[in-house]
Amino acid sequence: MILLKPMKQNLIVFYIVAGILLFAGMVYYISKPDYEYSDEIKVVKTWELPFVLREVSGISHVDDSRIACVQDEDGIIFIYDLNQEKIVKEIEFGPRGDYESIRVLDSVAYVMESNGKVFKIIDFESEERKIESYKTEFSSFNDMESLDYHEKLQKFLTIPKENNLLDNREDFIIYKLNPKNFRIENELFSSMSYTDSIFEVKKTGFVKSDFLASELTIHPETNEIFILDSRIPKLLILNPDGSPKILHKLNPKYFQQPEGLSFDSEGRMYISNEESDFLKQNIQLVEWK
């Protein structure tokens, strides 16, 4: 009987390990997207970001070699130099918070918090910078992660990630903000239902076919609207009038958590990803068809 005891212990260990592997396999099967990834989105080059930007949540070009970055916790703009492959400047503008989007327009940087607050940093690279803040009608309930300026409309555009401001919170709505006070304009830029065919993505498990916007960026030449979803990585492209054009399903092997998107002066697209269990935080130069 004494000789059998180790065998029983080994069996117990075997069943425990087998159970864990079975559970992990079930979780993977349920969470694994059941669709083919787009072959029209290709990563050309990747810059691995330093640890301080492991939760990089927004990017915007200062010029073609420098990108302004924000991360989830600190009120700091990090200037990352693509040529030197390092942070070359840190610019403090606010207290600790949940900063999700940044947009640089000439010498002014605009940063949005998830609670809807917008910081306007005038002459942001200067030691004499001036900082203004504006409270929009949005709150943390809406989870705001996107902001860009539409030159033709002369309005800012933004999308609630979680809930819009209507009674029917299921609609996908792009709001227009007045650039002077960041109040919501009465006329919506775009409104779609999640039942629209553009959002149809067949998935296993119990994940809804919706779209949780983690960034919105307007192409500088075409005025098309590029919108990221970081939860199940996707890139939605809208026509200049806000109507749907195409939805790309991004391969999570390369786009683990896409949170930021920016274009350089030549219209080349850059996407930033937060750190994941398997991939480091990064900025990617991306080609698309």
Express each pLDDT in 140-178 by its tens digit.
999 999 999 999 999 999 999 988 998 776 789 999 999
What's the pLDDT at 269? 97
Residue 208 scores a pLDDT above 60: no
Residue 62 pLDDT level (bands cut at 50, 70, 90): very high
What percentage of residues in the chain have a pLDDT greater than 70? 84
Residue 280 scores a pLDDT above 60: yes
Rounded Cα distance between 119 and 168, Å, is 29
Give Cβ neighbours of residue 232 (< 8 Å, ≥ 6 apart): 33, 201, 203, 207
Q: Please indicate, yes or no, if residue 30 is contained in any of the structural domains.
A: no
Mean pLDDT of 227-236: 93
Express each pLDDT in 5-37 by its tens digit.
555 566 665 566 555 555 444 444 444 445 577
Q: Please indicate, yes or no, if residue 193 is contained in any of the structural domains.
A: yes
Total domains, the chain: 1
Sheet with 282-288, side-by-side order of all strands = 41-48, 282-288, 269-273, 258-263
Burial class (CB in 10 A: 0-12, 13-18, 19+), 90: exposed
**Which segment of 99-108, 114-123, 168-177, 239-248 scores lowest on mean pLDDT?**
168-177
Q: Please indicate, yes or no, if residue 5 is contained in any of the structural domains.
A: no
What's the pLDDT at 145? 96
What's the pLDDT at 29? 41
Burial class (CB in 10 A: 0-12, 13-18, 19+), 251: middle
**Residue 221 and residue 171 in contact, taking contact as beta carbons nearer than 8 Å:** no
128: CATH: 2.120.10.30
Instruction: Supply the mean pLDDT for the chain.
Output: 87
Q: Which domain holds residue 177?
A: 37-288
What pTM was estimated for this model as a whole?
0.85
What's the pLDDT at 1? 46
Q: Please indicate, yes or no, if residue 24 is contained in any of the structural domains.
A: no
Q: Please indicate, yes or no, if residue 221 is contained in any of the structural domains.
A: yes
What's the pLDDT at 194? 81
The highest-confidence range among 36-40, 100-104, 227-231, by mean pLDDT, is 100-104
What's the pLDDT at 211? 87
Q: Please indicate, yes or no, if residue 14 is contained in any of the structural domains.
A: no
Rounded Cα distance between 206 and 219, Å, is 34
Rounded Cα distance between 236 and 159, Å, is 13
Q: Please indicate, yes or no, if residue 91 is contained in any of the structural domains.
A: yes
Question: Higher confidence at residue 32 or residue 185?
Answer: 185
Residue 53 scores a pLDDT above 90: yes
Q: Please indicate, yes or no, if residue 21 is contained in any of the structural domains.
A: no
Residue 283 pLDDT level (bands cut at 50, 70, 90): very high
Residue 213 scores a pLDDT above 60: yes
Residue 129 scores a pLDDT above 70: yes
What's the pLDDT at 199? 82
